[in-house]
Structure 1
Amino acid sequence: MKQETDMNLHNTSYPVSSGPEELVPSRYALKVGEIDVLVVSDGVLPLPTTMLAHNAAPAERAAWLHDMFLPQDAFDWALNAVMVRSGGKTILIDAGLGSDPNLHLPRAGQLIKRLEAAGIDLSSVTDLVLTHLHMDHIGGLLVDGVKKRLRKDLRIHVAAAEVKFWESPDFSQTAMPQGFPDALRATAKRFVSEYGSQLRQFDETHEIAPGVIARRTGGHTPGHSVVRVASGGDALTFAGDAVFAVGFEQPDWHNGFEHDPEEAARVRVRLLRELAETGEMLVATHLPFPSIGRVAIDGDAFRFVPAFWDY
């Protein structure tokens, strides 16, 4: 893996003056064969630690958090999105949280301003791929003033099963903090209302650009999808919410946002096994930024092997 100082993603390497709140890394560029990839942080989302594994014994969950030097009550989940350039297309994979004042999440929803800081004009984005319609993946498109800056012919790719699910979503197997189900439901409804005419729905797999393929996995939500970028023998999979930080060591633990936790666990194990066998790179929404690494088999479970940062 090699970081590119010139990604050709509209001056992504230009230095940017930032205030003290921006003295953190928020974008990381790499090449996948001949394809340019940029991981961009949307900020962090503080959530209760029970969300990591609501089916695990409290003592086991507490032990994992202790071993990871994490607090026992709540910690910051990363929020990552990805930009890709392939075949003359500029593709954004997921759109971040945006702004929901009712949830009091001021450190999230940073994607739009961080794309601007990277010198990326929203009007240059030709395609958007959504792993699913949870609000931390679509909310950036609902920020005031964003839609008018996007291309009128922007293509938004999403699994048909995902759009169908949000017509009447089922939260019976989730374990979310108070307020989240209502916010998720309202955000998905508003998104489909505002962008429905631009949706390009697919069933199982769909090629967005040369070497960029979305694949429906289900599990987390019925239409949850991952996106694989492949070129010249290299490959990287953006796993969306199929994998969380605890999912390597404890792939059977249920995340509170999973609408079908049992199927989500099966999806997670299949995906991690595939990546362990191929050695391909992994990026996921909620792994610590920039979340680039590989997967190794570790007994009956897995181990995340972070990539060395390349400057």
Structure 2
Amino acid sequence: MSLDSIPRLGTAGVDELVPSRYAVQIGDIEVLVISDGVLPITARTMATNADPTEFGHWLDDRFLPKDVLDWPLNVVVVRSGDRTILVDAGLGVEFPDFPRAGNTVHRLEAAGIDPGAVTDVVLTHLHMDHVGGLLTQGLKERLRPDLRVHVATAEAEFWHSPDFTYTDMPGPVPDALRAIASRFLSEYHGQLQTFESEYELAPGVLISRTGGHTPGHSIVRLESRGDALTFAGDAVFAPGFDNPEWHNGFEHDPVESARVRIALLRELAATGEALVATHLPFPSVCRVATDGDVFRCVPTPWDY
């Protein structure tokens, strides 16, 4: 988990020229941000209620294409006390149309982390790019039999009969989300540990349900010796800093999602704690600053 334990180029082990893992120390808690890769997404899905011209300017200002974007996927590994916790599991490898995602297994190995050492998995929600990795052949068999998988009760209940009324996703996506969530619940029902609103998993590791993006969407808050970091899952997307009321097409309750996002960003701006989110550019470690009625993402300096 520490920087010293990560293989260097030219040494034994799996490594890459492009960085795909980034270590952060939060007091006594070790954190490793891992890139699961990127997957293509239609640009308009990032801001379904935005004025097209205004959204086009937003994309132009960031030198981004207006048709299809590469959407980053980040997961984190947390070590606190005797627990090694994987927060989200990436897309998995069963989606040939997304060949640049689903790299969590490979990148755990590159970081020297044995999947069998993971004691707990926290799922922010059950969308396929967060749970698919747990269904991957080659990872599932290596997980310990007493692995505990933590998810909000409301999330598990929702996916027994999901409602996509207020989402605005590309056509094939809802059926894929439904199928993967159903398979996950079937294969892992004996290992699920559900909670209602908050659950302290390990010293300084608190899971909190926010709702909004999905009914049981949750964030993970880390705090140790005066330092803090929040893994926000899908509560925050790249356009959501300066346009926090823009809706993402994957949000099951867009209005509540915007409320959750604004409240969380206000809190993080006030506390100054670090933020990591699933779909911000890797490694996504940043601080939140206020800029009038909106927010700014301030990347933290890369710590070599």
TM-score, normalised relative to structure 2: 0.97
RMSD: 1.7
**Aligned match of 2:32:** 38
- Give secondary structure in 1 for the equivalent of 2:73: strand
Asked whether the equivalents of residues 94 and 136 of structure 2 are also in contact (C-alpha less than 8 Å), the reply is no
**Aligned match of 1:71:** 65
**Aligned match of 1:169:** 162
TM-score, normalised relative to structure 1: 0.94
1:2-81 → structure 2 map (5 Å cutoff): 4-6=2-4, 11=5, 13-15=6-8, 22-81=16-75
Asked whether the equivalents of residues 149 and 192 of structure 2 are also in contact (C-alpha less than 8 Å), the reply is yes
Q: How far is 1:22 from its partner?
A: 4.1
Q: How far is 1:292 from its partner?
A: 0.1
- Give secondary structure in 2 for the equivalent of 1:302: strand
Q: Distance in 1 between matches of 2:94 and 2:242?
A: 33
Q: How far is 1:43 from its partner?
A: 0.1
Q: Distance in 1 between matches of 2:36 and 2:228?
A: 23
Deviations 1:231-279 (A, max 9, x none): 0000000000000000000000000100000000000000000000000
Percentage identity across paired residues of the two chains: 64
Q: How far is 1:204 from its partner?
A: 0.3
Q: Distance in 1 between matches of 2:244 and 2:252?
A: 16
Partner AA of 2:216 in structure 1: G
User: Runs ≥4 in structure 1, deviation > 4 angstroms?
Assistant: none
Q: Distance in 2 between matches of 1:308 and 1:197?
A: 42
Matched, 1:117 2:110: yes
Asked whether the equivalents of residues 16 and 117 of structure 1 are also in contact (C-alpha less than 8 Å), the reply is no
Asked whether the equivalents of residues 91 and 101 of structure 2 are also in contact (C-alpha less than 8 Å), the reply is yes
Asked whether the equivalents of residues 9 and 16 of structure 2 are also in contact (C-alpha less than 8 Å), the reply is no
Deviations 1:176-226 (A, max 9, x none): 112111110000000000001100000000011000000000000000000
Asked whether the equivalents of residues 29 and 37 of structure 1 are also in contact (C-alpha less than 8 Å), the reply is yes
1:184-263 → structure 2 map (5 Å cutoff): 184-263=177-256
- Give secondary structure in 1 for the equivalent of 2:150: strand
